[in-house]
Chains A and B, each alone.
Chain A
Amino acid sequence: MTWGGVQRDEAELIDAARSGDSDAFGQLVWRYRDSVYTLAVRLVGPDLAPDVAQEALIRAWRAMPRFRGEAALGTWLHRITVNTAWTLRKRASRHDAQQLDEMLIDPSTGPERAGELAEVRAELGSAINQLSPGQRAVLVLRDVYGWSHAEVGRELGITQTTAKVRLHRARKRVRAILGETR
């Protein structure tokens, strides 16, 4: 990433964006757009994900002066994305069940393994789609992104105990669905 022919590191871009430099923020958006979009797809499905990602990045811009760097920018953006997805979940629930099938095929794997993986992921994606929004969010954040129960609870506005119970139910439900399809 160049800036007037000079590479700018992330800290410099963040400082500039915090001071209202939209070009610097644009470069950060360019760096993080895929990661924010991926999380949004996993939380609300591909139909609504572009809206969630857009809204999350706009909220991030508005909030940039508050960003103090206690967490990495990517983590902070993920938190905003989770919050945005969560607040827009009612809109998400009005959408038809969305398939995650087209996502998540690692291009580095060979074609045969990629085919197998695609099948497994498609089944898993379809099972995740059948979860309630609350169960889906907890499963994605905990099992896909490896967040702690405390982080999940804090970002979703639920207690750790609720997060654990939801996770347990979500895992059981996914396993039951996979059991039916296999």
Chain B
Amino acid sequence: MSNVICRLVSMVPADMPLNRVLEAHRDQCPRCQADVAHSTGMSRELSAMGGETLRAPEGLATTVMSRLPEQDGSDPRRPLVVRIALRYSVAAVIGVATVAALMAKALSRRE
């Protein structure tokens, strides 16, 4: 039973509150506490990586400067916007086709 509760505790994302039963279990279970300590340590390590910077390869800046095209004010996020639009339009087409098929089926039954 304890194993099951440990698994339940581990399934709740770190930024979501636990309910009272799970919280009480976590506070007294050595396994869950070790788990929490492990997660905290990992978060700290990951967060520390955010303050570190790698040196870019020699020549990166020179290569960029030698390849500069004309400025056109284009949206650098355009590929993302196009992808999202495409995803929604595909979903819309599938939805319309499904509704049309269902309506056609209903009509044919009536006849």
Contacts and interface: CB of A to CB of B under 8 A. Distances in A.
Interface in A155-175: 155-157, 164, 167-168, 171-172, 174-175
B110 to A, nearest CB: 39
A83 B64 contact: no
B14 A171 contact: yes
B53 A38 contact: yes
A34 to B, nearest CB: 5
Interface in A93-148: 103-104, 106, 120-121, 124, 139, 143-146
Given A29-B65, A34-B53, A143-B46, A83 B71 contact: no
B79 interface: yes
Size band of the interface chain B makes with A: 35 or more
A41 B80 CA distance: 20
Given A25-B68, A65-B71, A144 B46 contact: yes
B13 interface: yes
A53 B71 contact: no
A83 B76 contact: yes
Given A37-B54, A172-B10, A30 B73 contact: no
Interface residues of A, number: 57
B72 A57 contact: no
A53 B67 CA distance: 13
A54 B63 CA distance: 8
A36 B56 contact: yes
Contacts of B65: 22, 25-26, 29
Interface of A: 20, 22, 25-26, 29-30, 33-38, 41-42, 50, 53-54, 56-66, 79-80, 83-84, 86-87, 103-104, 106, 120-121, 124, 139, 143-146, 155-157, 164, 167-168, 171-172, 174-175, 178-179
Closest 5 CB pairs of A and B: A37-B56, A65-B73, A143-B46, A33-B56, A59-B76
Interface of B: 10, 13-15, 38-39, 42-43, 45-50, 52-57, 60-61, 63-65, 67-77, 79-80, 83-84
